[in-house]
């Protein structure tokens, strides 16, 4: 019997219907199109993925399912491996083409996409992947990248008409074969402390940010408590494509034209530029999810104690701002940029531990885990690029400046609830009487600092700088710049770099 011809829209980190080239191709093709998402067991077992992500994805898919249904469409959610499922589908349909977005991920997802590509080639199926983040596949340097990004971000948003898609509906038998096991309840039930997935929620966050919350964006961006309201909080929605970066950028552009706080939106848009810039780094060199950007740093051994690492993960280092940030992240999946940077430099320089271990820990508790931002940012903070200025954040200074009354610390470290400022910044300096008075005995109720910040950081910084100035490290820099730096900046880097070496 002749098989029915069809196309497939394979959704991954592009969980929306607008500004969506894969859907546009489906609309134009007229062929019956299967729209599907795969919860892949092998990906779900990867150490950098956690329940928090799958729950967000499930919510986003539920939202999308409803949106499609309202327009006569159908979304299939399978719990199974992609190639195995496609093989089964191929037994029943003549698959003409698969439309998907170009995912910039870790080596595991890059390899998965290559396997799909191989399967398609062997089966005579077209496989078209579309860029969605202003990121270019296959480039070896950054010549003209800036201009290309500008063209991309101001180019028209794709207007999808989902009612034009000829949705394929699977028969019950095949559906039963493909569906896979029920997803566990922990994934299908929401968590009240954490941002909910889906385009509907993304639009609410965008709209309240542009209309009200952005007013304090610049003023509060570094404050761990206030930034929760004044920053856009769009990161998980961008990470899973509930809105595209272009949709967000252009919404801000429109808003800025009528707003007295235009400079705030400029600052916000510059973050969206950073987003693409970092994702491009991983796209260009996927190995940097596992290897130092400057490969010479592989020889730098960071051998901090296991006990320090464990205390960090538990939020029990004795440094209130570190502990509050870790505990807050674990409970809510979010912390602002500065605190992320502080956690990274504390882990890499104060505790002298390898950035790769932190990468997995944070990926698991960041709701917005975006590999393309995550690994390059962590490496920059850990100094393993070998050319970025080194900024080490002192947790005590951060709390003095950005949590002046200690409200953020008290919320997440209730052991310190009765401790007033300024004692709350450095509780280990409290006298015995103060400890009794404030009901917080250091070493019993709240830990002594696991290391002395100044001493440990200085010692490790010295080792680091010596290593950074070694010939083998310096020799790698031109290659790193060529691959990862905006070409316009490379000459500037060379100049700065000379000055630093003479130092
Ligand atoms: C060690 C470390 C790891 C990080 N890992 C991630 C990650 O996995 N996923 C992630 O989305 N962000 C990551 N960031 C960047 C940044 O902290 C978050 O994007 C930001 O805090 C998200 O909050 P927001 O959406 O309110 O940001 P806003 O300030 O409102 O910015 C808007 C958007 O711009 C992008 N953006 C903001 N800051 C940066 C930045 N510094 N670099 C690149 N893009 C940026 C994000 O997509 C963000 O949603 C990391 C930063 C550090 C220091």
Q: How many structural domains are present in the chain?
A: 3
Distance from the alpha carbon of residue 349 to the mean position of ligand 1, in angstroms = 22
Q: For 303-311, which contacts have Cβ atoms below 8 Å and span 24 or more sequence positions? A: 303/352, 304/351, 304/352, 304/353, 305/351, 307/450, 308/351, 308/353, 308/450, 308/451, 309/351, 309/353, 309/357, 311/447, 311/450
Rounded distance between C-alpha atoms, residue 413 and residue 224, angstroms: 14
Say which CATH number the domain at 236 has: 1.25.40.80
Annotate 309-353 with DSSP letters as a single string. Answer: HHHHHHT-SS-HHHHHHHHHHHHHS---HHHHHHHHHIIIIIS--
Tokens of 153: 């971000």
Whether 395 and 418 map to the same domain: the answer is yes
Distance from the alpha carbon of residue 237 to the mean position of ligand 1, in angstroms = 12
Q: For 412-431, how does the pLDDT look when each residue is reduced to its tens digit (9 = 90+)?
A: 999 999 999 999 999 999 99
Nearest Cα residue to atom 53 of ligand 1: 341
Whether 273 and 301 map to the same domain: the answer is no
Q: For 116-154, how does the pLDDT look when each residue is reduced to its tens digit (9 = 90+)?
A: 999 999 999 999 999 999 999 999 999 999 999 999 999
Domain that holds residue 447: 295-502
Q: For 248-304, how does the pLDDT look when each residue is reduced to its tens digit (9 = 90+)?
A: 999 999 998 887 888 999 999 999 999 999 999 999 999 999 999 999 999 999 999
Phi (first) and psi of residue 33, to 5 degrees: -125, 130
How many residues appear in the chain? 503
Distance from the alpha carbon of residue 235 to the mean position of ligand 1, in angstroms = 6
pLDDT(503) > 50:
no
Whether 404 and 356 map to the same domain: the answer is yes
pLDDT at 492 (0 to 100): 77
Whether 220 and 337 map to the same domain: the answer is no
Whether 140 and 232 map to the same domain: the answer is no
286: which DSSP letter?
G
Rounded distance between C-alpha atoms, residue 69 and residue 114, angstroms: 32
Candidates 1, 240, 260; CA nearest to 132 is: 240
| Mutation test residue for ligand 1: of 368, 371, 379, the one with most atoms within 8 Å of CB | 368
pLDDT(221) > 80:
yes
Whether 204 and 143 map to the same domain: the answer is no
Tell me what the mean pLDDT of segment 44-58 comes to.
98
| Site residues for ligand 1, CB cut-off 6 Å | 231-235, 238-239, 268, 271-272, 274-275, 278, 336-337, 340-341, 344, 366, 368-370, 373-374, 377-378, 381
185 falls within a domain: no
pLDDT(238) > 70:
yes
Return the ligand 1 atom nearest residue 235 CA: 49
362 falls within a domain: yes
Say which CATH number the domain at 349 has: 1.10.579.10
pLDDT(192) > 70:
yes
Distance from the alpha carbon of residue 370 to the mean position of ligand 1, in angstroms = 9
pLDDT at 500 (0 to 100): 55
Nearest Cα residue to atom 15 of ligand 1: 337
187 falls within a domain: no
Whether 98 and 132 map to the same domain: the answer is yes
pLDDT(178) > 70:
yes
Distance from the alpha carbon of residue 169 to the mean position of ligand 1, in angstroms = 39
290 falls within a domain: no
Tell me what the mean pLDDT of segment 73-88 comes to.
98
Return the ligand 1 atom nearest residue 277 CA: 43
23 falls within a domain: yes
When pLDDT is cut at 50, 70 and 90, the band that residue 498 belongs to is: low
193 falls within a domain: no
Return the ligand 1 atom nearest residue 378 CA: 1
Distance from the alpha carbon of residue 140 to the mean position of ligand 1, in angstroms = 25
pLDDT(499) > 70:
no
Distance from the alpha carbon of residue 213 to the mean position of ligand 1, in angstroms = 17
Rounded distance between C-alpha atoms, residue 486 and residue 274, angstroms: 11
312 falls within a domain: yes
Whether 66 and 90 map to the same domain: the answer is yes
Tokens of 350: 């104060």
């Amino acid at each position: 019997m002749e098989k029915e011809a069809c196309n497939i829209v394979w959704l991954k980190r592009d969980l929306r219907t607008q500004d969506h080239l894969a859907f546009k191709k489906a609309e134009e093709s007229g062929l019956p199109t299967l729209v599907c998402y795969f919860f892949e067991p092998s990906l779900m077992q990867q150490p950098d993925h956690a329940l928090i992500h799958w729950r967000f994805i499930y919510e986003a898919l539920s939202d999308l399912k409803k949106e499609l249904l309202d327009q006569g469409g159908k979304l299939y959610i399978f719990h199974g491996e992609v190639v195995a499922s496609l093989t089964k589908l191929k037994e029943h349909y003549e698959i003409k083409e698969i439309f998907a977005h170009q995912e910039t991920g870790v080596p595991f997802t890059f390899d998965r996409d290559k396997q799909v590509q191989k399967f398609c080639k062997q089966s005579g199926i077209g496989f078209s992947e579309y860029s969605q983040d202003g990121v270019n596949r296959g480039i070896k340097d950054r010549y003209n990248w800036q201009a290309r990004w500008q063209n991309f971000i101001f180019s028209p948003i794709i207007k999808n008409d989902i009612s034009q898609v000829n949705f394929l509906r699977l028969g019950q038998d095949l559906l039963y074969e493909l569906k896979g096991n029920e997803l566990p309840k922990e994934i299908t039930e929401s968590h009240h402390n954490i941002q909910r997935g889906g385009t509907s929620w993304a639009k609410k966050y965008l709209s309240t940010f542009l209309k009200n919350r952005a007013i304090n964006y610049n003023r509060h961006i570094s404050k761990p408590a206030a930034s929760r309201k004044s920053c856009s909080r769009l990161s998980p929605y961008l990470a899973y494509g509930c809105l595209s970066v272009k949709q967000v950028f252009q919404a801000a552009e429109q808003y800025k034209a009528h707003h007295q706080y235009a400079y705030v939106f400029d600052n916000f848009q510059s973050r969206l530029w950073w987003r693409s810039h970092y994702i491009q780094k991983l796209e260009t060199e996927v190995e940097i999810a596992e290897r130092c950007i400057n490969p010479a740093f592989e020889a730098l051994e960071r051998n901090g104690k296991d006990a320090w690492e464990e205390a960090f993960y538990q939020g029990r280092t004795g440094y209130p701002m570190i502990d509050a940030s870790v505990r807050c992240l674990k409970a809510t999946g979010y912390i602002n940029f500065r605190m992320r940077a502080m956690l990274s430099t504390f882990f890499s320089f104060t505790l002298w531990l390898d950035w790769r271990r932190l990468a997995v820990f944070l990926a698991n508790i960041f709701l917005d885990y975006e590999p393309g931002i995550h690994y390059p940012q962590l490496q920059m903070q850990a100094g393993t690029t070998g050319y970025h200025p080194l900024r080490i954040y002192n947790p005590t200074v951060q709390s003095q400046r950005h949590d002046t009354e200690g409200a953020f610390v008290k919320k997440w470290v209730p052991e310190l609830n009765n401790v007033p400022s300024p004692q709350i910044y450095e509780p280990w300096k409290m006298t015995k009487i103060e400890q009794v008075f404030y009901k917080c005995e250091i070493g019993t109720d709240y830990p002594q600092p696991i290391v002395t910040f100044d001493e440990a950081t200085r010692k490790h910084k010295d080792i680091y700088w010596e290593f950074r100035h070694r010939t083998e490290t310096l020799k790698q820099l031109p290659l790193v710049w060529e691959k990862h730096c905006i070409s316009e900046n490379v000459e500037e880097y060379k100049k700065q770099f000379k000055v630093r070496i003479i130092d």
